[in-house]
Amino acid sequence: MATTYAIGKLAKLTDTKVPTIRYYEQVGLLPAPERNAGNQRRYREVHLQKLRFIRHSRQLGFGLEEIASLLALQESQADSGEVQRIARNHLDEVRDKVARLNKLEQALSQLVSCCGSGQPHDCQILSVLADHNLCQHEHEGR
Amino acid sequence: MATTYAIGKLAKLTDTKVPTIRYYEQVGLLPAPERNAGNQRRYREVHLQKLRFIRHSRQLGFGLEEIASLLALQESQADSGEVQRIARNHLDEVRDKVARLNKLEQALSQLVSCCGSGQPHDCQILSVLADHNLCQHEHEGR
DNA sequence: CTTGAAGCTCTAGCGACTAGAGCTTTTACA
DNA sequence: TGTAAAAGCTCTAGTCGCTAGAGCTTCAAG
């Protein structure tokens, strides 16, 4: 019979915490494995591979729903167009976020630089926070 | 008697949703205002100013706990050194995040660019996601 | 055969809101 | 003054992706 892995083993192999693996099962991302006589999960190769896929996708910032779609597309051998669409869409979001964070970084460094490090004479940070007009930057939501 | 604002008015003046204002009160960020005969909140200038401070700080990415500290420091007239420490610390975190997102953007654009836009012949995205070794990038947690 | 590690389920918490149900009060207009 | 819509109220639950803990059972090694 084929090799099986206990949940702790799978956790080590994929650098995932045990409760996280159970969580993925709970939300339907990782299929429920068989259980042994004592009700413990016994995983197979297929689970290991799916879990690696999930973890790599997470490291790349994909959300669990996106990952679910990607896994389904992998299964279905269907059009790679949809895969590309998801990936590009995610990339766009990341680029947006980078742009927003860069603006934020600008605004913050100006805020912080307004008073030299040692001087105790009153610093402007609180005033700028209190009054947006003292701040040269537009900010966005999200 | 001094002007007061209903919650909806305050919301408009500060571009904040009404439930968000109530939430700030609930977590102790914004002091509970007096109530009128019909139990409705009636805010004063001081609330308006605190709320503006909170919102501007949020736009700059400060967390509610940091904002609570900043408000307390504003109140106490205490050392601006602590204010600077909080702001610099936040700036450091933002810079970290920018760096991480930039790496992510790198990895993702490579992932996406592996197959030209129109061609249907099988694209590599799924394979890379399934096997981190096919990916040139290290990824971090967080 | 014992003991300690690993497994199990279930519930709650994080941060910063947001949405909705089901009510009461205020406001504007006829 | 009557009425209806808008705005207010409280309370609960949901978002996302986990993480922590309680209190139990099962497994593996010596």
- Rounded to 5, what percent of chain A is helix, strand, coil? 60, 5, 35
> Can you give the distance from the CA of residue B2 to the C1' of nucleotide D3 in angstroms?
32
Asked whether the CA dihedral A6, A9, A11, A14 is positive or negative, the reply is negative
Which nucleotide's C1' atom has the smallest distance to the CA of B11? D7
Mode of pairing for the β-strands spanning B34-35 and B41-42: antiparallel
Is B42 (CB) below 7 Å from strand D? Answer: no
Tokens 């990936």 sit on residue: A87
Across the interface, which of A79, A105, A129 has its CB nearest the CB of B70? A129
Tokens 């993702």 sit on residue: B108
Q: What is the pLDDT of residue B44?
A: 98
Q: Which nucleotides of C are covered by protein (CB under 7 A)?
A: 6-10, 15-20, 24-27
Q: What is the pLDDT of residue B119?
A: 53
Which nucleotide's C1' atom has the smallest distance to the CA of B41? D8
Q: Which residue is nearest to nucleotide D27 (CA to C1')?
A: A38
pLDDT digits (tens, 9 = 90+) for B69-92: 999 999 887 677 889 999 999 999
| Distance between CA atoms of residues B122 and A78, nearest Å | 10
Q: Do A70 and B129 touch (CB under 8 A)?
A: yes
The β-bridge partners of B34 are B42
Question: Which residue, A36, A34, A41, is CA-closest to A10?
Answer: A41
Q: Do B70 and A132 touch (CB under 8 A)?
A: no
Contacts of B11 (CB under 8 A, 6+ apart): B17, B18, B20, B21
Helix axes A45-59, A7-14, angle to 10 degrees: 40
Q: Do A130 and B73 touch (CB under 8 A)?
A: no
ipTM strictly over 0.90?
no
Contacts of A130 (CB under 8 A, 6+ apart): B49, B52, B53, B56, B74
User: How distant, in Å, are the alpha carbons of B59, B60, B84, B91 from that of A137?
Assistant: 10, 10, 19, 15
Averages of pLDDT over runs of 10 residues in chain B (142 residues) are 91 97 96 97 98 97 96 84 92 96 95 68 82 89 72
User: How distant, in Å, are the alpha carbons of A72, A79, B118 from that of A64?
Assistant: 12, 20, 27
Q: Could you give the angle at the alpha carbon of A97 between the alpha carbons of A130 and A79, nearest 5°?
A: 155
Q: Do B87 and A104 touch (CB under 8 A)?
A: no
Has residue A16 got a pLDDT over 60? yes
| Distance between CA atoms of residues A56 and A62, nearest Å | 9
Phi and psi torsions of A121, nearest 5°? -65, 140
| Distance between CA atoms of residues B96 and B21, nearest Å | 30
pLDDT digits (tens, 9 = 90+) for A24-35: 999 999 999 999
DSSP at A43: B
Q: Do B60 and A123 touch (CB under 8 A)?
A: no
Is B30 (CB) below 7 Å from strand D? Answer: no
Neighbours of B5 (CB within 10 A): 20
Phi and psi torsions of B115, nearest 5°? -125, 130
Chain A residues closer than 8 Å to B140 by CB? 59
Is B26 (CB) below 7 Å from strand C? Answer: no
| Distance between CA atoms of residues B10 and A131, nearest Å | 16
pLDDT digits (tens, 9 = 90+) for A45-73: 999 999 999 999 999 999 999 999 999 99
Closest residue on chain B to A16 (Cα)? B141
> Can you give the distance from the CA of residue A66 to the C1' of nucleotide C5 in angstroms?
36
User: How distant, in Å, are the alpha carbons of A95, A140, B63 from that of B90?
Assistant: 21, 18, 9
> Can you give the distance from the CA of residue A38 to the C1' of nucleotide C3 in angstroms?
19
Phi and psi torsions of A69, nearest 5°? -65, -45
